[in-house]
Each structure stands twice: as C-alpha cells, then as structure tokens.
Structure 1
Amino acid sequence: MTLLLRAEKSVAVGIVQALEAANAQATPDAALQAWLARCPNATPELRDTLAREPLLPTLVHESIAKQMAFNKALSTGDVDIPQRPPEGMVFNPVRSGAPRTAEPLQTGAVRVSCERKPQPALRGALGWSGDLLLRARISTRAGIVETADFSLPLPGDPPPAVVDFFRGNVIRALAGYHCEGDHVFEQEFQFKVD
C-alpha cells in the first residue's frame, strides 16, 4: 500500500510507464469495465464514485477506508467473520485443474505441502447433535487460500444454520492456512457433536 500511495517512483507508476514505453494505449473506460467485471460485489456507492473519479486513487482510498473501519470494529469486538455470505454475493469460481488431496493422503495422490494448517476451532453455541462431513475444494495462490467451495458428500439433511455454523468455522481455519505455491486441492472436515 505504501508503494501505491507514493506520488513518484511507485510500482504502479513504473508499470504504467513500462506499458506506455511499449506503445500501450491508456483506456480508462476499458480499465473501469474490466475491474467491474472482476469485482461484481462493488457497492452502488463505489460504482457511482468510480463513474466520476479516477480508478486507481478511488480504489486505494476505498481499500484504506474499509480496512481502517474493519480494524476499528474488530478491536472493539463489534465485528467477526460472518457465518453466511451476504445475500446476492457473487463468488469467483475455484480455478480449474485436477484437485490434489490434503491430509490424509490417498494412494497416488499428490501431496500439498502446507506449513500452517490450523484445525477449525468451534466458536459459539449450537443446539444440535449429530455427524457432519464437509468437503472443501480449495485453491491457493501464492500459498494463501483464495477460494473454497463446499459440498456435503454424505446423505442427510442437517439444518442450514448448522451447515452455516460449521462452514464458518472451517473458513476461519482456512484463513490461517499457508501452503507452498498455487494449488487446487480437496480436504474433508468431519464433525461429531454429542
């Protein structure tokens, strides 16, 4: 972020200068449309601002403001990772590729090496008992979990609130993963509540 905010000799400026030196044409409207296509969850307020203001400074300002607001709310205990995504949120699909397998290894499977792989720590009360198996198809980029799709591979019909509870706890654990490189792999999380 410091590099982006520098007025001179920043990485962003260097990239733009290199592109211009290679005869690239600046097309702010195309850049805006490309960003909007890749970020479908932009708020109406941000879209309105982007229609009037330059793309890069607006996005940097928006990112800093959101991060500061989140940090402040987190320090006072007023915010947490939500159990369920907001209604209407659009997700980027997990990258294609043959999924590898995380622990436990299967015969012939390619091992995904993860330096840090915390177990889900169950937080909150749950008025439910039973068994639940969640299968996560996970993609990492630069060693950090980028996307995760969940499925319920076993028959049964746990209440949606129960699935949300366990999925939220798994997401919190995935946020702490640190794996080597870019991978697509599958991992199962089994829970038994008495």
Structure 2
Amino acid sequence: MSQPFIMAFLRNPRQIGALIPSSERLAQAMIADVDPETDSVLELGPGTGVITQALLEKGLPPEKLWLVEKEKSLAERLNRQFPSVTTLCQDASRLILDDALINQPISCVISSLPLLNIRPFNRLKILQQVFQLLGDSGRLIQFTYSIKPPISQVMADNLGIRGERKATVLRNLPPASVWQYRRVSTLID
C-alpha cells in the first residue's frame, strides 16, 4: 500500500472512503464495459491508479483518458506513474475541465469517489456536472461498498438517470458493487 494513500486516508478518511486501495478485480469490473476504440474516459478519484492502469492495459489510449484527483500527493504520484495521461489536481465538486485539455466528448466517467460520504449538496453538484459533461449518451460507472445504490432513487429521478448494478466484487476489501448510470432518455430509445 502506498504511503501517499495512507497519509491521505489519515488526513481525511471520509474523502478517501477506504482504508485499502481498490483491488485488481474491482478495477476489472469497473472497466468491463469500456471500449478502448470508441470511449473517452474521465476518471474521478483515481487514488493509487489501479483503475487507470487497467484502462491503459485494456488499450485505452492515454490521450483519451483524464484523471481528476483532489489529494495533492496522490495527484503528484499519478503524474509520475502515468506521465502521458492528463492529471488534474482538483475537487470533483468544482469540476473545471479546460476545452484545450479535453478536445473530444467524454463518453464514460469512472468514479471511485465515496459518493455516500459526500454531503448531499456536493454529491448533487458533482453528478449534475458529470451528466452535463456526458451529454445524452454517456454513462457513469460508480462503485460502492454499501448494500444501497451509490445514488439514491430520489436523486436519480431528479437527475433523469437510471442505475443498474453491473457487478458485485466479493474479492475486494471490503466487497463492492459496481453500478452504471445513464440518462433515462437513452434507455427509452
């Protein structure tokens, strides 16, 4: 386990959301539906880069992947570990994406943010920004350690999105569920 991860957890456990980084099995479940040929991915809360590494190993070109990590020490580590991937050190609730950096539409947001630990106002703000960025056809892939969905039904209805549990990863500490969310309008078509 990396020292920056442990230090970030000790500074703010609610922000990090887990004592141990995501497992390789969870990373594989998170990226299962990503198509390296057609998808452009924004990863929120990449932490130690387990999912980032899995995306690159799957064949996603580095120029089609952007990372947003709030914790400065983790963002610096990601910059060193993945120098060809754009890493932004910022809070996902204040998502500011420069059009010069992201020169193509984002089709998929992969989030390791501990959504259920985030205040409802900030959670809503993050999700509104994510679905504005994704447009009508994109999708959000989010995991949770809770038995509840990471986005409540009320919040999903307010955002006009629907979620589906895509996987349960028992061999992760703690076990996790992977959810995929899309706009309701794309599910009807």
| Shorter-chain TM-score tier | under 0.3
Larger Rg: 1
State the TM-score, normalizing by the size of structure 2: 0.24
State the TM-score, normalizing by the size of structure 1: 0.23
